[in-house]
């Protein structure tokens, strides 16, 4: 029961930090210092990634009408605009997919540590503040999903590559920063980031599951499913909050939060651990 409660806590943190651009990795590293699951290192590595499936299910459900290209009413209808959107999403996935497949273990060994995570938190926190200040008097060039071109999608995907290389950058943070930088509105940047997460997270989770194998113990299966369910419920709440928040506010508050968290991570692992 204790491990189930821990899994719920990890799911809550995942559901909050996956969608707010504040780095789920940074928070998971900190939480793991104080709340440690009694599982093998191999299961823990897999759990950190596969728990995201609960979070991504929230996106699928909340944005179903924007991402599902088929309609079944009086007669079947195929939405070509949604198919086009998915092609653009797949184009945006190319940079991170290529690097992730080729260098996943190497990148984890090199950069998956508290100091790299803390630096990434601070650097992208500063980037949010600088870009939002720059955009204060500028009108976004892209205000609808259909206005995103293949070139724009590839550029956003290139920013996602930064998150694939440097844990702590935040996948949503990197793609939102990139989108804002090239003139995409906050709402469209957030939505495209959510949709981009669907193939990315499914792909990353599948790789981790194949690497770990499907021979779960009953306790491991219960921990994983509990974490995913918790992440799903919290993600629904957080995504709705974020989409309402950015209609009236910018992302600078998340930038300042990242800087404070990054500094806290540096101080903790320098002077405490």
In Å, how far are 4, 84, 107, 161, 195 from 101, measured between CA atoms?
32, 25, 11, 12, 20
Over residues 8-40, the pLDDT tens digits come to 999 999 999 999 999 887 788 788 888 999 999
Give the pLDDT score at 201. Answer: 86
| CA separation for the pair 53, 21 (Å, rounded) | 18
- Amino acid 110: pLDDT: 65
| Residue 185 contacts residue 140 (beta carbons within 8 Å) | yes
pLDDT in tens, the chain (273 residues): 799 999 999 999 999 999 999 988 778 878 888 899 999 999 998 998 899 999 999 999 999 999 999 887 777 888 899 999 999 999 998 887 777 666 666 666 666 778 888 898 999 999 999 999 998 888 899 999 999 999 999 999 988 888 777 777 888 888 999 999 999 999 999 999 999 999 988 888 888 899 898 889 999 999 999 999 999 999 999 999 999 999 899 999 999 999 999 998 889 888 887
pLDDT tens digit string along 65-92? 999 998 877 778 888 999 999 999 999 9
pLDDT of residue 111: 66
Range of the domain at 193: 2-271
pLDDT score recorded for residue 102: 66
Determine contact, residues 30/14, Cβ cutoff 8 Å: no
pLDDT given for residue 107 in this prediction: 63
Burial of 32 (0-12, 13-18, 19+ CB in 10 A): middle
The domain total for the chain is 1
Query: Other CB atoms closer than 10 Å to residue 230's CB: what's the count?
Result: 23
* The predicted structure's pLDDT at residue 66: 92
Query: Is the CB of residue 52 less than 8 Å from the CB of residue 205?
Result: yes
pLDDT at 75: 78
């Amino acid at each position: 029961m204790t491990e189930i409660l821990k899994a719920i806590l990890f799911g809550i943190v995942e559901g909050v930090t996956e969608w707010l651009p504040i780095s789920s990795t940074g928070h998971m590293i900190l939480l793991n210092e104080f709340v440690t699951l009694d599982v093998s290192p191999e299961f823990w590595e897999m759990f950190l990634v596969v728990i995201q499936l609960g979070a991504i299910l929230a996106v699928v459900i909340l944005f179903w009408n924007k991402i599902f290209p088929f309609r079944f009413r009086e007669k079947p209808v195929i939405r070509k605009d949604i198919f086009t959107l998915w092609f653009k999403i797949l184009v945006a996935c190319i940079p991170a997919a290529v690097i992730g497949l080729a260098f996943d273990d190497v990148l984890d060994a090199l950069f998956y540590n508290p100091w790299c995570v803390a630096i990434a938190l601070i650097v992208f926190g500063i980037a949010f503040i600088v870009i939002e200040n720059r955009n204060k008097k500028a009108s976004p060039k892209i205000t609808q999903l259909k206005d995103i071109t293949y070139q724009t999608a590839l550029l956003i995907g290139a920013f996602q590559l930064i998150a694939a290389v440097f844990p702590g950058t935040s996948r949503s943070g990197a793609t939102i920063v990139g989108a804002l930088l090239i003139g995409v509105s906050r709402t469209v940047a957030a939505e495209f980031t959510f949709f981009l997460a669907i193939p990315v997270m499914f792909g990353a989770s599948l790789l981790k599951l194949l690497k770990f194998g499907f021979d779960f113990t009953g306790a491991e299966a219960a921990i994983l499913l509990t974490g995913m369910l918790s992440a799903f419920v919290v993600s629904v709440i957080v995504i709705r909050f974020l989409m309402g928040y950015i209609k009236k506010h910018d992302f600078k508050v998340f930038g300042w939060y990242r800087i404070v968290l990054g500094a806290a991570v540096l101080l903790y692992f320098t002077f405490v651990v």
